[in-house]
Structure 1
Amino acid sequence: MSNWTNDAILDALRGVVEPELGKDVVSLDLVEVEGTAGDHGAGLTLTVKSSNPAMHARKRMQEAVEFALERAFGKPVACDVKVIPLKQEERTLETRKVLPGVEHVIAVASGKGGVGKSTVSSNLAVALAQLGYKVGLVDADIHGPSVPTMFDVAGEKPQPVEVEGKTKIEPIEQYGVKVLSIGFFADPDQAIVWRGPMASRALNQLFTDADWGKLDFMIVDLPPGTGDIHLSLVQQI
């Protein structure tokens, strides 16, 4: 009888870490084993999902899996190892790179400015908080951040806080909602003139460098149009 059982294979792969997610591929449920094992694993197909779809990242993952199998079962390894990208719809709270502690993300957008996106975002966030949910609100409108004014926190400045040895931004809390806005970090008397990549990086920091904790809902108030900020949000979240 072959010693290439499913349990033995999964045990062998517990030391293979998904680099972008920081956990092993088995605990993240990223491994599928199909087929019947013959000598040296022949007849088996191992499919491993990678958070990074780039070819070089998938190649490194394949090499790590094959090395782990060689250590566990010896050479040669005759099974077929495939590494495929993790699909967006397959991502869970654990396998999401950005905002892993947020259950639901709601983006409020429109192709035209001045139609009430910030009003809808603010009222939606407060209404959800009043229903007992844990809610965060990101004001990503770099052209005219109005959420600080709507929440009566225009003069507030978010403070740094230490979280697990890392310095994070602590959101301002008002009306039961955690709030961060581009407006907190810009001079209200000066226009914000940022090119697309700079705006996208600033938005990314509001998500990745803030201590949001566990949230039921994250509301994102987007700028008008369909530009770099919108594309970055969809790709990351």
Structure 2
Amino acid sequence: MRINVLGVGFDNLTMAEAVAEGQRLLNTAGAHYVATPNPEIVEVCRESEEARAAVNGADLVLPDGIGVIKGAAMLGTPLKEKTPGIEFAGHLVEKMAEEGKSLYLLGAKPGVAEEAGERLRAKYPGLKIAGAHDGYFQEDAPVVEAIRQSGADCVFVCLGAPKQELWMAKNGEATGAHLLCGLGGSLDVFAGRVERAPEFWSRHGLEWFYRLCKEPSRIGRMMKLPLFLVHVKQEKGRRK
């Protein structure tokens, strides 16, 4: 049973449990996809029925960020822990390397996905990089066909939310992959283009503030967090 936070249902799992479920889906027939919403994406889902349906339609919905954890706790339905998409992906890739699975990287600026693939392959020698494509494409069909031809077991779809969730919901089956993961800007991190917040900031739930200090232009997006908390308080009042 999922935990409902402002209309988005989150799977109540530890990171270890989430990775195990990702592995299970990866080895299960058919196409499955993972969504990793943060408060900003929850707010998008409140405004867009299409986005909400795509996120809730995922086989695995993980809370990316301390904001969702705090929101769930405020509503009296706590989640076990935050499971950031970038960390989930790293653990999953490690398991994929052990099993000799193949990965396709989709998204980011030209060249970034290729760089990410090279670094991931170097870090996880057993991992097979099936292919890569940037996120600057106009038509889905050629990209979907390229993934299908590559024979990838898994696809990291990094197109930004909710575009990536809508893309996975629409095209997942046609790619031939068993698992697709919507991971936002993770390819920039894997490629070494963007640095994650130091452990101190992450441990204290301040990764968002660290990113804001590094990229002040994100202020508009970051304003979604206090709005999210306002809506959580309103929902808490309605549930009483």
Higher strand content, 1 or 2: 1
Same fold? TM cut 0.5: no
Higher helix content, 1 or 2: 2
TM-score by length of 2: 0.31
Query: Which of structures 1 and 2 has the larger relative contact order (alpha carbons within 8 angstroms, sep 6+)?
Result: 2
TM-score by length of 1: 0.32
